[in-house]
Amino acid sequence: MPAPSPFRVITTDRTSQARLGELITPHGTIPTPIFMPVGTQGTVKGIPSHDLLQLNTPIILANTYHLLIRPGKSIIEHFGGLHTFMQWPRPILTDSGGYQVFSLARLRKISCDGVHFQSHVNGAPFFLGPREALEMQRAIGSDIAMVLDVCPPWDAPPIQMREAVMLTLSWAQQARQIWPQLLQKENIEPQSLPRPLLFGIVQGGSNPTLRAHCAQSLVEKDFDSYAIGGVSVGEPQEEMYRAVELTIPHLPPDKARYTMGLGHPHQIVELVARGVDMFDCVLPTRMARHGTAYTSCGPINLKRSVHALSHDPIDPSCACAVCMRYSRGYVHHLFRAGEMLAQYLTTYHNLAFYLELTRKIRETLAQGTFSAFREAFTKTYSVPNEREP
C-alpha cells in the first residue's frame, strides 16, 4: 500500500495552475508556495539562525556534498545532527550533491555506481553514491532528502542528456529501496506521518520525450514529492520555463513540486502560476554581498552614489527591521566604507523580501486574488536586462 502523501493542496487558482498547500515534515508543516533560504554549509551566509526565526523562515536548505567535506559526517553525528549543530528548530531540506556533479565537473568522474570526487578543499578523493548520499542526509537529520542525480549542462548533446536521465533513474530506484531501510534502522515507520521525506528529481533538459520519460518513471516509484532539476544551470529564461512546463503535466497533483536553484522574484511569481510549490536560490544572499537589494520596484545597487543622500529605506513598501530603522544613505555609506554591517543589513532585507513575496502569494491564493497580484507585480517590478543585477 502506498504511503500517505505528506502534501495537501488547500486551494487552486481559477486562472492559472497556482495552488496553495502545505507539506508535513518532522520539524513542522511548511506552507506552500515557499522560498527556502540556502544554507549550504550549515549557515545561511551572514545570517544567524535566530534572525531566520525572527524573519519567520519556515525551512532552510543545506547541502550534502559540502557538509560531507566540512565538517564531515562524524562531527555532524557527534552533535546529533544539523538542527542541533546550527541551532535551527525548523525543517531542513538537503540537496544530495547532484548539483556538484554539474558545478564541479573538473573534480569528479561519474560511474554507474555513483560519483568519484576530488575534494575542492584539499583534493582528497571520496565517493558519493545513492546510499552514501542518503546516509549522509540521515546523519544531517534532513526533513526532506533528495535522491542523488546527474545534472548535465542545459545544452548537453542528446546522448549525454539521455545518459544523465538513465543514471538518474537507476540511482532513484536504488534510493527508493534504501530509504525505508534507513528509516527503519532509526525506528521510524516509513508509512507514518510525519516522517523524513524523500524527493525524486526529474532531469531531461528541454527534451520533451526525456522529461516525460523521467517524470513518469519517477512517479511510478511513488516518491513523497518531486523536484524539477536541470534548471538554473546557465540556460536562457525561456528555456528554463520550457523545462518546467514540459515536466509539470507528468507530475501528480497531490505531490509537491520543487524547482531547484530558482530564482529571481519575477521568476518565482511566474513559476507559481505554472504550478510550482517550492523554491530555493542563493541570489538574495549573494547579491546582498555585492550591494544589490531587492525591492517591490526591482533590484537596486546600494553602492551607487545616487543613494548617498537618500533618507528612504531600502524599500518603502517593506516592513522588515532594516527598512524600519535604516536609510539607503546609511547603507550606501557602509558599503563605501567597507563595513561588514552593509552586507548583513542588505542580506537581512533581501531574505525578508523573498519570504514576504511568497507569503503574499499564499495570501492572495487564499483570497482568490492571485491573478490580480501577479498582474500588479509584473507591472511594478522592473526586471534587469542582465542575468543578475
- Smallest Cα–Cα separation from 130: which of 183, 88, 177, 86? 177
Told to judge if 95 belongs to the known catalytic residues of this protein, a careful annotator would answer yes
Q: Select which of 95, 143, 149, 224 is catalytic.
A: 95
Please give the grid coordinates belonging to residue 372.
490580480
Told to judge if 113 belongs to the known catalytic residues of this protein, a careful annotator would answer no
**How far is the first Cα of the chain from the last one, in angstroms, to the nearest whole number?**
49
* Cβ proximity of 73 and 133 under 8 Å: no
Report CA-CA distances (Å) from 250 to 192, 213, 241, 372.
26, 9, 15, 28
All residues at 6 or more sequence positions from 182 whose CB lies less than 8 Å from its CB, including other chains: 134, 135, 138
Please give the grid coordinates belonging to residue 18.
497556482
Given the C-alpha cell 539607503, which residue does it identify? 328
What's the 3-state SS for 196-251?
A: CEEEEEECCCCCHHHHHHHHHHHHHCCCCEEEECCCCCCCCHHHHHHHHHHHHHHC
* Cβ proximity of 197 and 144 under 8 Å: yes
Round to whole Å and give the CA distance between 261 and 281.
5
Q: Select which of 13, 149, 277, 280 is catalytic.
A: 280
Please give the grid coordinates belonging to residue 51.
534572525
Report CA-CA distances (Å) from 149 to 48, 143, 175, 217, 262.
30, 19, 10, 14, 18
Beta bridge partners of 7: 23
Report CA-CA distances (Å) from 218 to 92, 173, 176, 266.
23, 8, 10, 29
Give the catalytic positions in this structure.
Answer: 95, 280
